[in-house]
């Protein structure tokens, strides 16, 4: 009885969400026209990630991305142009992204409070598009950018009505996995996330191991005999 109730609840939650195709679409679509905390009201995708265990791996990979590279670039006032500092940061992001062809990303655009909300919405989207264009120039397929999102002036880091560079920014985040990828379809999420750790744990070859044992044995036999 309890299992039946749980199944009905899950089906009801899924029915409330939109189909994934409504969210994934072209990266030129402004997915953040309505601010809802970054989840875009997509209950179906959230339920899928929770039930498959994918959500936990996305969270882990998001933390790695945020810890290993700077996820934010800033912009001059009323500009969507990438300066030298922004291009340097995005080059590091692109290098990280290329290591994980199974992973999708979102780019969030933000502005400061100067100007109308509608204008800042467009400016935030222009900044996000500039980042995606840079990623494309670095050989990253735009099909892996699940959505461009403009929050405009609605999520400032520094609360002020004036010009503030720290509010004029884009943020890149891990959003999920490429569902058609064979590794993901096999459910091997952990192998993706811990790839470098697994490779670093591979033992030395038998020859190298035998040589190390021989060296250690020789040092031991020649070092004793003191009175």
Q: What percent of the chain has pLDDT over 70?
A: 54
CATH code reported for the domain at 41-202? 3.30.1330.60
- Express each pLDDT in 98-148 by its tens digit: 988 888 999 999 999 999 999 999 999 999 999 999 999 999 998 888 778
Choose between 51 and 161: higher pLDDT.
Answer: 161
- Express each pLDDT in 27-49 by its tens digit: 444 443 333 344 444 444 444 44
Q: How far apart are CA 66 and CA 82, in angstroms?
A: 20
What pLDDT band is residue 58 in, cutting at 50, 70 and 90? confident
Q: For the chain, which residues make up each domain, given as ranges?
A: 41-202
């Amino acid at each position: 009885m309890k299992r039946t109730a749980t199944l009905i609840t899950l089906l009801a939650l899924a029915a409330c969400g939109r189909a994934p195709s409504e969210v994934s679409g072209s990266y030129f679509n402004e997915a953040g026209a309505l601010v809802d905390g970054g989840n875009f009201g997509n209950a179906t995708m959230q339920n899928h990630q929770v039930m498959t265990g994918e959500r936990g791996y996305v969270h882990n990979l998001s933390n790695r991305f945020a810890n290993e590279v700077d996820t934010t670039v800033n912009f001059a006032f009323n500009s969507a142009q990438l300066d030298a500092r922004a291009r340097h940061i995005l080059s590091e992001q692109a290098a990280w992204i290329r290591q994980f062809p199974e992973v999708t990303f979102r780019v969030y655009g933000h502005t400061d409070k100067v100007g109308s909300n509608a204008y800042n919405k467009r400016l935030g989207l222009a900044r996000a598009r500039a980042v995606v264009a840079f990623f494309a120039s670095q050989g990253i397929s735009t099909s892996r950018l699940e959505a461009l999102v403009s929050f405009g002036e609605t999520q400032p880091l520094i609360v002020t009505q004036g010009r503030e560079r720290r509010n004029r920014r884009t943020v890149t985040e891990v959003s999920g996995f490429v569902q058609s990828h064979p590794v993901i379809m096999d459910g091997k999420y952990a192998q993706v996330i811990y790839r470098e750790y697994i490779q670093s744990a591979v033992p030395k070859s038998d020859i190298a191991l035998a040589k190390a044992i021989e060296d250690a044995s020789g040092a031991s036999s020649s070092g004793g005999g003191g009175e």
